[in-house]
Chain A
């Protein structure tokens, strides 16, 4: 397979929180248009991996390349840790803890920002902006980040809303939506920035069971259109039926990755087997 098809390339990615080594050398390639499911025990580092891809956490070592943007760091750990803990201990900084970029140099910041524009992220909770209605939730970022014309982005937003089946709700406020509707709007909101890759962190875990399918349908539709997607999930059904590749993580490492048929019928590593067995019970 030629490397031009690889839209995401992660090499030897390490991430620490204080003394704990959370990501221990992740290597992962994703091809254009693939839907990758990441599974693994709670606490194994799945969320942290996605957050590193979105630069909400800054990698401590390794390389992330998405599309044509490459973000690289070699370890300079001691000094870095000191800075991190200093910032973390600082009282009265509610939002900064996880967004560490402000202590990085300008060049790195710029790259991180560019990288971020390549990816759209759907968080675990519901994160629509409650002070804007559905339509404004979608056009606010294009408007203020890219300076797009409001009328055009409205048309575009309505198309995106139609794609996620929410075109009848453009005037609603977020607190008037069900969880599934909110997640679909959030997907449209991320798509409005024309990302190359979509990241989802357990997109359906906060939803009532009957609302799960409508969100999954949006993701499979996007898959058909050729969107590259990385989905952290606890739903083996989803991993089995919707994804091209399933990745199993344990304790900050990728243990095994394979197409779903192979992963679920014939897991190679004993840790994968243990995990799948645990779920089967």
Chain B
């Protein structure tokens, strides 16, 4: 039993050592951030595209090295960078004084402004003043949020993804959205229900984020960007995505007229506007299967390993709580109460972002297993305790009076009986754990729910994708429900097949 736990832990920590290839651009972006930044190719969902992908590719070509994408939640990009999960992050990160205290920025690779978006039928909003007394949505932690709050008299609602803010705007839950212009253009510009309104607001400057101490990397990146500027490659990329604007022109001091076609923007519009036939939908969803399948496997592996950890650890904790001498049993009780009394999300953040400061640095996968496993172990421990209590006390006495030690009695008499009672609640817990794995996307794990959000942000298709993902969750859960039925039967008291 203990050795099983050890092997799980060893497994977790060896995973930790994986992939630290040095001469490689290890960059992070949230694929849920959407077009035109970093998003899944509508034709090949396993492939990431976007103007930032193009920039990174151009930089790595310039430097003559490969690059590798690391998925992380947008909020988590800078914390993950500090944890050394990757070496740079590029994802519409504005260069701000606050951020500069924590990380280093490259020279800007794009400059834009904030854009007001309203419903097509809206009339009275044309500038910031028009937003007063209105419900206005924007991205969490963005410059727009600060502009809105500093202006005052505006009810600001912040979102994790622009897609949800536009959804709320369409559904009348918001009166306007203030957001970086490229987002507005790519999400609202082509949508007949929405329109862009008013003059440009503010100035938004994007830079690539790196750790402060990585000065060599900063120099290399800046040199590469400069080369992209002088060679016209940066302009080419921006023109292809139809993102060239007067601010960039001023910054790059490039007033020429270009005849580069916005091919990538047009391809994007094409993928949006065409009416899809049933066959197109089928084709699209079949295209999802590889990426969803991979995410489903991640979800299964994550759930199963965490549950094994939870079951083993839970048993140790329950036995400690019930049978160990006082200081130990008190510790076990405290553990259970603390874990059950705090949100899983905070535990995950703690393991992933706080532990590194005391030298325990885990990759997302290990951190996710550890977080889920520790969390569920508290619940399993309580299940076992209830199971142990429900075994009549005469059983222990009968075993002891036959000469068994308490340990032997537990192993052969009490625990087997408790297991029978514990199987149904443990199965329930496994099913909830399966669903709770969706929380680990906050620590950079690309599991099923995260992929769902990414895919639906790419296509604006929450319903179809949602149904598919829901079905996948159900299918994953099914074998475990069956397994539990089988175990219940096997441990039933009418079953007399087992013998020595």
Contacting pair B322 A116 (CB below 8 A): no
The segment from A73-81, A140-148, A247-255 found at the interface with B is: A140-148
A28 proximal to B (CB < 8 A): no
Contacting pair B499 A135 (CB below 8 A): yes
Contacting pair A127 B395 (CB below 8 A): yes
B381 vs chain A, min Cβ distance (A): 11
Partner of B413 from A102, A131, A174 at Cβ < 8 Å: A131
Alpha-carbon distance between A172 and B497 when the two chains are bound, in angstroms: 10
Contacting pair A92 B404 (CB below 8 A): no
B contact face: mostly helix, strand, loop, or mixed:
helix
Once A94-B389, A127-B394, A135-B499 are accepted as A-B contacts, the answer to whether A56 and B403 lie under 8 Å apart by CB is no
Q: Find the residue from A90, A94, A190 having the highest chain B CB count within 10 A.
A: A94
Contacting pair B401 A116 (CB below 8 A): yes
Task: Determine the residue in chain A with the shortest Cβ distance to B397.
Answer: A56
Alpha-carbon distance between A102 and B393 when the two chains are bound, in angstroms: 16
Q: Residues of A contacting B397 with CB < 8 Å? A: 56, 95, 98-99, 123, 127
A16 proximal to B (CB < 8 A): no
A95 vs chain B, min Cβ distance (A): 4
Alpha-carbon distance between A190 and B414 when the two chains are bound, in angstroms: 18
B496 proximal to A (CB < 8 A): yes
Q: Residues of B contacting A133 with CB < 8 Å? A: 496, 499
What does the 1/0 interface line of A179-215 toward B look like (CB < 8 Å)? 0000000000110010000000000000000000000
Q: Residues of A contacting B496 with CB < 8 Å? A: 133, 171-173
Contacting pair A94 B499 (CB below 8 A): no
Task: Determine the residue in chain B with the shortest Cβ distance to A130.
Answer: B493
B249 proximal to A (CB < 8 A): no
B421 vs chain A, min Cβ distance (A): 11
B459 proximal to A (CB < 8 A): no
Alpha-carbon distance between A172 and B388 when the two chains are bound, in angstroms: 25
B116 vs chain A, min Cβ distance (A): 61
A61 proximal to B (CB < 8 A): no
Once A98-B397, A129-B395, A131-B416 are accepted as A-B contacts, the answer to whether A189 and B402 lie under 8 Å apart by CB is yes
Contacting pair A145 B401 (CB below 8 A): no
B23 proximal to A (CB < 8 A): no
Contacting pair B408 A93 (CB below 8 A): no
Once A95-B393, A98-B393 are accepted as A-B contacts, the answer to whether A144 and B412 lie under 8 Å apart by CB is yes
Alpha-carbon distance between A243 and B311 when the two chains are bound, in angstroms: 53
Contacting pair A93 B323 (CB below 8 A): yes
Partner of B500 from A120, A136, A189 at Cβ < 8 Å: A136
Contacting pair A150 B500 (CB below 8 A): yes
Q: Residues of B contacting A189 with CB < 8 Å? A: 402
Q: Residues of B contacting A125 with CB < 8 Å? A: 392, 394
A215 vs chain B, min Cβ distance (A): 17
A64 proximal to B (CB < 8 A): no
Q: Residues of A contacting B404 with CB < 8 Å? A: 141, 144-145
In B381-423, the 8 Å CB interface with A consists of 385, 388-389, 392-406, 408, 412-414, 416-417, 420
B495 vs chain A, min Cβ distance (A): 7
Contacting pair B322 A93 (CB below 8 A): yes
Alpha-carbon distance between A123 and B392 when the two chains are bound, in angstroms: 13
Alpha-carbon distance between A92 and B388 when the two chains are bound, in angstroms: 10
Q: Residues of B contacting A175 with CB < 8 Å? A: 493-494
Task: Determine the residue in chain B with the shortest Cβ distance to A171.
Answer: B496
What does the 1/0 interface line of A82-100 toward B look like (CB < 8 Å)? 0000000010111110110
Alpha-carbon distance between A174 and B492 when the two chains are bound, in angstroms: 12
A113 proximal to B (CB < 8 A): yes
Contacting pair B323 A116 (CB below 8 A): no
A5 proximal to B (CB < 8 A): no
Contacting pair B403 A116 (CB below 8 A): yes
B353 vs chain A, min Cβ distance (A): 34
B416 vs chain A, min Cβ distance (A): 5
A12 proximal to B (CB < 8 A): no
Contacting pair B394 A99 (CB below 8 A): no
Alpha-carbon distance between A121 and B326 when the two chains are bound, in angstroms: 31
Contacting pair B402 A145 (CB below 8 A): yes
Task: Determine the residue in chain B with the shortest Cβ distance to A146.
Answer: B403
Alpha-carbon distance between A129 and B324 when the two chains are bound, in angstroms: 24
In order of increasing CB-CB distance, the 9 nearest A-B pairs are A141-B402, A95-B396, A127-B398, A145-B403, A133-B496, A121-B401, A127-B394, A130-B493, A131-B416
Residues of B within 8 A of A (CB): 321-323, 326, 329, 333, 385, 388-389, 392-406, 408, 412-414, 416-417, 420, 491, 493-496, 499-500
- Give 10 A-B contacts (CB < 8 Å), ordered by A residue: A95-B397, A96-B323, A98-B393, A140-B413, A145-B403, A145-B404, A145-B408, A173-B494, A175-B494, A189-B402
Known A102-B406, A141-B402, A144-B404; further 18 A-B contacts with Cβ < 8 A: A56-B401, A90-B329, A92-B329, A94-B393, A95-B396, A98-B393, A113-B405, A121-B398, A121-B401, A123-B398, A125-B392, A127-B397, A127-B398, A129-B395, A130-B417, A130-B493, A131-B420, A133-B496
